[in-house]
């Protein structure tokens, strides 16, 4: 349903374009779809023009063809990360036990669990806002825990995890200030900052992963092209067999670490 007269749709497009939105027409259509009244549309356009990420304004992000709720203050799942999930779907055995560490909105875990018909989904994040958001997205599909990395997971999962997703923060501390304002200002620092070389959280995840993975199971982490060799070293020195897969179209680099059989 459209709440927007055609004449003012062009005003919305112009407002968004003036605010620097590259895809102003597409965004105007999405804002129009999200608004239930002309007043609400005005408020949504103002929030977007002020620099809030579109996903936070409309309250959802598209990921692997589904819409996931994304609250303000929660990391917006990136299109490039669809590649990590595609790799995970290909690796998942039937009735897989899936863990989504550092789950943010929970989109990765839900997409994988749904596409691979997983038997169990366990997701975890340290940020209360992310946990609330993930609980809504995960619903009855699994459990969402709040806390530091593997800390809140049930001990009964040890040695049973078939696919371990961990899209951890991996921006080097000094580079956080170079990120676009949509990320730097509107996403929590804990979702972005990966420490001095960007690999601090990945190191902690890789070090503990072998204790949770089933024989032959895999950890999947996203990294950047620049960090690729260091990330391979991190995963390999944790005792997993590392390999790199790349999608140039999505500008995505994923390191897969596989446990011994
Ligand atoms: C880059 S975001 C990725 C979120 C989600 N996996 C995605 O791709 O949309 C990293 C997430 O890790 C969480 N995080 C950072 N440090 C953590 C820790 N020590 N334990 C658990 N979660 C953590 C952040 O709150 C954030 O939600």
pLDDT in tens, 125-139: 999 999 999 999 999
- Counting residues of the chain whose pLDDT is more than 90, the rounded percentage is 93
Instruction: Give residue 11's pLDDT.
Output: 87
Instruction: Give residue 3's pLDDT.
Output: 53
Is 50 exceeded by the pLDDT of residue 257?
yes
C-beta of 131 in contact with ligand 1 (< 6 A): no
Residue bearing the CA closest to ligand 1, atom 10: 191
Pocket test for ligand 1, best of 76, 84, 102, 112 (most atoms within 8 A of CB): 102
Residue bearing the CA closest to ligand 1, atom 12: 102
Instruction: Give residue 86's pLDDT.
Output: 98
Query: How far away, in angstroms, is 126 Cα from ligand 1 center?
Result: 7
Q: How far apart are CA 205 and CA 151, in angstroms?
A: 11
Is 60 exceeded by the pLDDT of residue 158?
yes
Is 90 exceeded by the pLDDT of residue 188?
yes
Instruction: Give residue 8's pLDDT.
Output: 73
**What mean pLDDT is predicted for residues 78-92?**
98
Full DSSP string of the chain: ---S-HHHHHHHHHHHHHTT-TTHHHHHHHHHHH-SSHHHHHHHHHHHHTT--HHHHHTEEEETTEEEE--TTSPPPPGGGHHHHHHHHHHPPTT-EEEEES-TTSHHHHHHHHHTT-SEEEEEES-HHHHHHHHHHHGGG-EEEESSTTTTS-GGGTTTEEEEEE----B-GGGGGGS-HHHHHHS-GGGTB--TTS-HHHHHHHHHGGGTEEEEEEEEEEE-TTTHHHHHHHHHHTT-EEEEEEETTTTEEEEEEE---
State the pLDDT confidence band at 5, using cuts at 50, 70 and 90: low
**What mean pLDDT is predicted for residues 213-226?**
98
Instruction: Give residue 10's pLDDT.
Output: 86
Residue bearing the CA closest to ligand 1, atom 24: 191
Instruction: Give residue 6's pLDDT.
Output: 47
Is 70 exceeded by the pLDDT of residue 90?
yes
Query: How far away, in angstroms, is 130 Cα from ligand 1 center?
Result: 8
C-beta of 191 in contact with ligand 1 (< 6 A): yes
Q: Which atom of ligand 1 is nearest to the CA of 107?
A: 9
Residue bearing the CA closest to ligand 1, atom 16: 190
What are the extents of the domains in the chain? 6-50, 79-258
Is 70 exceeded by the pLDDT of residue 24?
yes
State the pLDDT confidence band at 1, using cuts at 50, 70 and 90: very low
Instruction: Give residue 9's pLDDT.
Output: 83
What is the CATH number assigned to the segment(s) 79-258?
3.40.50.150
Query: How far away, in angstroms, is 220 Cα from ligand 1 center?
Result: 14
């Amino acid at each position: 349903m459209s709440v927007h007269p055609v004449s003012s749709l062009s005003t919305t497009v112009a407002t968004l374009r003036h605010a620097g939105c590259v895809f102003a027409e597409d965004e105007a259509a999405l804002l129009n779809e999200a608004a239930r009244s002309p007043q609400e549309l005005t408020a949504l356009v103002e929030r977007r023009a002020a620099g809030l990420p579109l996903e936070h304004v409309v309250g959802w992000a598209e990921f692997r063809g589904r819409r996931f709720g994304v609250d303000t203050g929660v990391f917006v799942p990136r299109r490039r990360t669809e590649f990590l999930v595609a790799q995970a779907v290909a690796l998942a055995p039937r009735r897989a036990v899936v863990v989504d560490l550092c789950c943010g909105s929970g989109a990765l875990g839900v997409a994988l669990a749904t596409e691979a018909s997983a038997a169990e989904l366990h997701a975890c994040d340290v940020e209360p806002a992310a946990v609330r958001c993930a609980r809504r997205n995960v619903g009855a599909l699994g459990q969402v825990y709040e806390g530091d990395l593997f800390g809140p997971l049930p001990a009964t999962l040890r040695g049973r995890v078939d696919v371990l997703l961990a899209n951890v923060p991996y921006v080097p501390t000094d580079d956080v200030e170079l990120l676009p304002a949509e990320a730097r200002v509107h996403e929590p620092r804990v979702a972005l900052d990966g420490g001095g070389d960007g690999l601090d959280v990945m190191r902690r995840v890789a070090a503990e992963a072998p204790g949770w993975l089933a024989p032959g199971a895999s950890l999947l982490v996203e990294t950047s092209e620049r960090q690729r060799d260091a990330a391979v070293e991190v995963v390999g020195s944790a005792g997993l067999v590392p390999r790199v897969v790349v999608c140039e179209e999505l500008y995505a680099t994923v390191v897969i670490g596989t446990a011994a059989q």
